[in-house]
């Protein structure tokens, strides 16, 4: 799919190194207003990152701009609400589309490409794919940085969660939800 200058495609295992670099740049460049440097670095080590299960499931997208990966994000039919491969509290069991909300997962846009509609392009693809898989509701654990973005896309704030980091620090995350259609 091509959104003007942007190309959307599914991520592959071969993209993981580039995606890891993109996630670091996104967190360091775009989250400074909401989280301290210590929180951002601890979260990069313990929480954020590529979730290889999403790539294997074919539910993780990326957008290329000028042949460079400018953003990524996905959805999931599995229970884990947030967290990459290194995040300990994962739950890979499958959700029931009739009763449960699909997850929106791990959206990161490179600072050089922020506010150009890339996040929106990926979210639209995720919502379409989740609907095609039979889900009628979506939810995610949004960073404080992500809240205005998801709010603009029709998601409502449901609950604030503190994700434990280290040295008594925690990462404030907001569970947000949306009904499709
Ligand atoms: C959240 C994020 C993915 C949004 O990506 P993006 O490509 O910049 O978003 P879009 O350009 O599609 O934004 C669509 C709309 O969302 C809203 N929005 C996005 N970022 C916003 C911000 N920082 N402040 C206020 N509104 C914002 C706006 O309404 C925007 O439309 P507009 O630019 O026409 O005003 C990006 O800011 C990011 O990567 N942040 C750092 C990593 C992170 O915290 N990710 C969230 C994980 S849950």
Q: How far is CA 29 from CA 90, 92, 145, in A?
A: 27, 30, 11
Q: What is the pLDDT of residues 2-14, one digit of tens each?
A: 556 899 999 999 9
Among 18-27, 52-61, 76-85, the minimum mean pLDDT is found in 76-85
pLDDT value for 122: 98
Query: 22 pLDDT exceeds 90?
Result: yes
Domains identified in the chain and CATH numbers: 2-135 (3.40.630.30)
pLDDT value for 61: 98
Q: What is the pLDDT of residues 77-131, one digit of tens each?
A: 999 988 888 887 888 899 999 999 999 999 999 999 999 999 999 999 999 999 9
Q: What residues flank ligand 1, with Cβ below 6 Å?
A: 26-27, 30-31, 71, 107-109, 114-120, 142-143, 145-146, 148-149, 152
Q: To the nearest 10°, the Cα dihedral for 120, 31, 114, 147?
A: 30
Gap from CA of 165 to ligand 1 centroid (Å): 24
Which atom of ligand 1 is nearest to 118's Cα?
7
pLDDT value for 50: 94
pLDDT value for 4: 60
């Amino acid at each position: 799919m091509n959104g003007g200058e942007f190309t959307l495609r599914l991520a592959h295992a071969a993209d993981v190194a580039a995606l890891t670099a993109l996630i670091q740049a996104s967190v360091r460049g775009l989250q400074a207003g909401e989280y301290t440097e210590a929180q951002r670095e601890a979260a990069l080590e313990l929480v954020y990152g590529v979730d290889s299960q999403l790539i294997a499931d074919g539910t993780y997208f990326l957008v290329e701009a000028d042949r460079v990966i400018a953003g990524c994000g996905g959805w999931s039919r599995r229970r884990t609400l947030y967290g990459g491969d290194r995040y300990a509290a994962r739950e890979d069991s499958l959700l029931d589309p009739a009763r449960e909300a699909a997850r929106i997962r791990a959206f990161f846009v490179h600072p050089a490409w922020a506010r150009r509609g890339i996040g929106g392009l990926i979210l639209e693809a995720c919502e379409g794919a989740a609907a095609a898989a039979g889900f009628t509701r979506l939810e995610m654990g949004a960073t404080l940085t992500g809240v205005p973005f998801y709010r603009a896309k029709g998601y409502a704030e449901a609950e604030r969660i503190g994700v434990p980091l280290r040295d008594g620090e925690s990462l404030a995350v907001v569970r947000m939800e949306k009904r499709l259609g």
